[in-house]
Amino acid sequence: MFTGIVEAIGQIEAIERLPEGGRLRVRAGAVLEGARAGESIAVAGVCLTMVEVVDGAFAADLAAETLRRTTLGRLHPGDAVNLERPLRLADRLGGHVVQGHADGVGTITQVRPEGDGVWMEIEAPAALAPYIVEKGSIAVDGVSLTVAGLPGGSRFAVALIPHTLAVTTLGQRRPHDEVNLEVDILAKYVERLLEGGRAR
């Protein structure tokens, strides 16, 4: 489990594309201190298992399902990615409950300055729109954010403060860029429970 509070920005060193998956190598630096193969890490909001950890870099295998649902298969060497290691029981939950199970890919439609920060609008897949509510939580490339507005259709807006722009990859994002989206797990559980009630 993660919180959506990015710990570091890593850099893609290599990506190997295979017929039914792939392998990613990421230069991560100090965030890997004490890390071992077999542990999880969120890369651009996607929970992966580190299969190798060597000299400040790690490798992770990509399943075909991961490539279908996320942007990871479109990355190239040199690309920057948000990194977060899993929550420990003693840690503060600074963001919201993030599983690292991306629900789909959104497309940034607008980025405009607003005061010292940025107003960003994102087109989500239509199937995710019912789970996105104003002032609710959403993870964008692994960053825990509050939905600031619902401009229409399946678009939603977030207000990014200078700190978020400086310490995550969202400060580099532009219109037409694609981002991984994870909606609030609580909304999905509520829907499932209501479906069960209607079926009785």
**Residue 200: is its pLDDT beyond 60?**
no
The pTM of the full predicted model, rounded to 2 decimals, is 0.92
Burial of 71 (0-12, 13-18, 19+ CB in 10 A): buried
Instruction: Please provide the CATH number assigned to the domain covering 8-84.
Output: 2.40.30.20
- Alpha helices for the chain (secondary structure H): 64-69, 162-167, 185-199
Q: What angle do CA 72, 113, 76 make, to 5 degrees?
A: 20
Give tens-digit pLDDT for 130-173: 999 999 999 999 999 999 999 999 999 999 999 999 999 999 99
Enzyme catalytic residues: 2, 40, 47, 49, 63, 101, 146
Q: Where are the alpha helices (DSSP H) in 59-126?
A: 64-69
pLDDT in tens, 28-72: 988 999 999 999 999 999 999 999 999 999 999 999 999 999 999
Domain boundaries for CATH 2.40.30.20 within the chain: 8-84, 104-193
d(CA 131, CA 140): 14
For the segment 4-19, what is each residue's pLDDT rounded down to a tens digit?
A: 999 999 999 999 988 7
Cβ-based neighbours of 88, under 8 Å, separated by 6 or more: none
Question: Does the domain spanning 104-193 belong to CATH 3.40.50.10800?
Answer: no
From the number of C-beta atoms within 10 Å of its C-beta (0-12, 13-18, 19+), residue 132 rates as: buried
- 26, 56 contact by CB (below 8 A): no
